[in-house]
């Protein structure tokens, strides 16, 4: 009986030892397969250039204490112009094309009409008559003062003088509006110049050579984009939080999403149409030449000062349910054989990146709040563009069983 129990104990002990050994082997296997927190990637110079990587640092952005708004780029009416003529005529020449920049007062077309010489003729006739009437008026006035002739003759010449003076001034104004010369018989012309009323860009040309144009019909349209601003629609619930002087950040929805800065200069006092929203007007601080009226924008109005570390959304990649950024650790030189006989070597660069796990927060206008899970140097060079290329290269090298330099 003693031998029997001893055998049972021995088998039980062996079984426990084997089980413990298997657990240890399982833990070792898991540890062997456990991947490191930070992975490293190395790109050669050709790969780095092909990926179009952009390096940078964190931006300080207010992503939480903001009001979201949509709107359009807009020009005030004094920075838009339609060009028309005061008298009918035929287009003789066109000096500009659509998209061309013009200065105020610059000739953009010429107009021809038989009415222009008639107008100049009437002015010169009036000028001559006025000269005669002026002398006669002075003579009759002198005679009237000396009681040499009747007052009736003086009053008649005075009436004729005043009427001709009004006619003369009217004709002179008309010539000035048409840019026609107002002196000299030899300066009579059948053509007038059409000039730009403001400086800006030609957006429409509604005529061609030989077009018969009438007063009031626009021949050209000109816009001056230097005074471009943004009209944002803010709803009633947020209206009390919006004030002149607040910063506005917006992106052009159909463009490259680059951020543009602005500042509120006016808040509307009435609802826009039937929408329970009010127009908020913001000046644009960036270069306005890339903008045209009517562009749709998504905007953030900063109503607080709570800034956080933020990166472009494309700087963050996801893998295995976690989020990462890439940081450039070092750049070192390497020699490359140029011939099979090693007669010549060239120097190339290798770019060494480290993948860092992060936590993300609020995302607005293409930026996202990013908190690294480990400390980074203040001057760390973070990959802002090209992260997906580096991540795909990492997966490729892992799948191939090694690093591809």
| Residue 213 predicted with pLDDT over 60 | yes
Could you tell me the two tokens for 314? Answer: 């494309």
For 44-58, write each residue's pLDDT tens digit: 888 888 888 999 999
| Residue 4 predicted with pLDDT over 50 | no
Q: In what order do the strands lie in the sheet with 212-213?
A: 191-195, 107-112, 89-94, 212-213
| Residue 400 predicted with pLDDT over 80 | no
- Range(s) for CATH 2.40.420.20 in the chain? 40-62+308-399
Kindly tell me the burial class for residue 135, based on how many C-beta atoms sit within 10 Å of its own C-beta (0-12, 13-18, 19 or more): exposed
**Spatial CB neighbours of 195, under 8 Å, sequence gap ≥ 6:** 105, 106, 107, 108, 179
| Alpha-carbon separation of residue 302 from 30, 68, 298, 308 (angstroms) | 49, 9, 13, 13
Helical H segments across 146-266, by residue range: 151-177
Superfamily (CATH H level) for 66-75+228-305 = Efflux pump adaptor protein, beta barrel domain (2.40.30.170)
Q: Which fold has domain 40-62+308-399?
A: 2.40.420
* Confidence band of 288 (pLDDT split at 50, 70, 90): low
Q: Do 57 and 206 form a contact (C-beta atoms < 8 A)?
A: no
DSSP-derived secondary structure for 295-364: -EEEEEEE-S--EEEEEEGGG-EEETTEEEEEEEEEEEEEEEESSTTS--EEEEEEEEEEEEEEEEEEEE
| Residue 32 predicted with pLDDT over 70 | no
- Range(s) for CATH 2.40.50.100 in the chain? 80-222
| Residue 20 predicted with pLDDT over 80 | no
Q: How far apart are CA 175 and CA 168, in angstroms?
A: 11
**CATH architecture type of domain 80-222:** Beta Barrel (2.40)
Mean pLDDT of the 274-280 span: 85
Within 51-190, strands assigned E span 54-56, 59-62, 66-74, 80-83, 89-94, 101-102, 107-112
Phi, psi of 340 (to 5 degrees): -65, -30
* Confidence band of 11 (pLDDT split at 50, 70, 90): very low
For 331-377, write each residue's pLDDT tens digit: 887 766 655 555 666 677 889 999 999 999 988 888 999 999 998 88
Residues of the chain with pLDDT > 90, as a percent, come to 36
Average pLDDT, the chain: 82
Q: Do 123 and 168 form a contact (C-beta atoms < 8 A)?
A: yes
Angle, helices 151-177 vs 115-145, to 10°: value is 150
| Residue 244 predicted with pLDDT over 90 | yes
Mean pLDDT of the 102-129 span: 90
> When comparing pLDDT for 198 and 288, which is higher?
198
| Residue 276 predicted with pLDDT over 60 | yes
Residues of the chain with pLDDT > 70, as a percent, come to 82
Q: Do 102 and 202 form a contact (C-beta atoms < 8 A)?
A: yes
Paired sense of beta strands 66-74 and 367-372, if any: unpaired
Total residue length of the chain: 405
pLDDT at position 187 is 73
- Range(s) for CATH 2.40.30.170 in the chain? 66-75+228-305
């Amino acid at each position: 009986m003693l031998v029997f129990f001893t055998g049972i104990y021995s088998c039980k002990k062996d079984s426990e030892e084997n089980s413990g050994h298997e657990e240890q082997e399982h833990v070792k296997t898991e540890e062997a397969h456990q991947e490191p927190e930070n992975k490293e990637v190395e790109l050669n110079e050709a790969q780095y250039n092909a990926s179009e990587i952009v390096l940078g640092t964190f931006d300080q952005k207010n992503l939480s204490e903001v009001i979201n708004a949509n709107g359009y780029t807009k020009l005030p009416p004094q920075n838009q112009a339609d060009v028309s003529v005061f008298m009918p005529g035929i287009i003789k020449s066109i000096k500009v094309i659509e998209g061309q920049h013009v200065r105020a007062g610059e000739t953009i077309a010429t107009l021809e009409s038989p009415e222009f010489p008639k107008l100049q003729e009437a002015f010169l006739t009036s000028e001559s008559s006025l000269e005669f009437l002026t002398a006669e008026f002075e003579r009759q006035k002198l005679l009237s003062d000396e009681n040499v002739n009747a007052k009736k003759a003086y009053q008649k010449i005075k009436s004729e003088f005043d009427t001709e003076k009004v006619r003369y001034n009217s004709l002179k104004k008309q010539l000035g509006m048409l840019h026609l010369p107002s002196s000299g018989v030899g300066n009579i012309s059948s053509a007038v110049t059409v000039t730009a009323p403001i400086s800006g860009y030609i957006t429409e040309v509604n005529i061609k050579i030989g077009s018969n144009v009438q007063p009031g019909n626009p021949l050209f349209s000109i816009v001056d984009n230097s005074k471009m601003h943004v009209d944002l629609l803010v709803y009633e619930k947020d209206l009390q939080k919006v004030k002149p002087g607040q910063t506005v950040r917006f992106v052009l929805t159909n463009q490259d999403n680059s951020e543009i800065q602005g500042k509120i200069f006016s808040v509307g006092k009435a609802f826009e149409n039937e929408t329970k929203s009010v127009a908020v007007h913001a000046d644009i601080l960036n270069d306005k030449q890339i903008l045209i009226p009517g562009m749709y924008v998504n905007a953030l109005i900063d109503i607080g000062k709570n800034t956080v570390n933020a990166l472009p959304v494309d700087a963050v990649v996801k893998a295995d349910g976690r989020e990462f950024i890439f940081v450039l650790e070092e750049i070192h030189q390497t020699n490359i054989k140029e011939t099979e006989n090693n007669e010549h070597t060239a120097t190339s660069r290798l770019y060494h990146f480290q993948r860092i796990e992060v936590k993300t927060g609020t995302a607005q206008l293409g930026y996202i709040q990013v908190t690294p899970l480990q400390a980074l140097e203040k001057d760390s060079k973070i990959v802002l563009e090209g992260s997906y290329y580096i991540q795909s290269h990492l997966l490729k090298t892992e799948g191939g069983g090694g690093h591809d330099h």
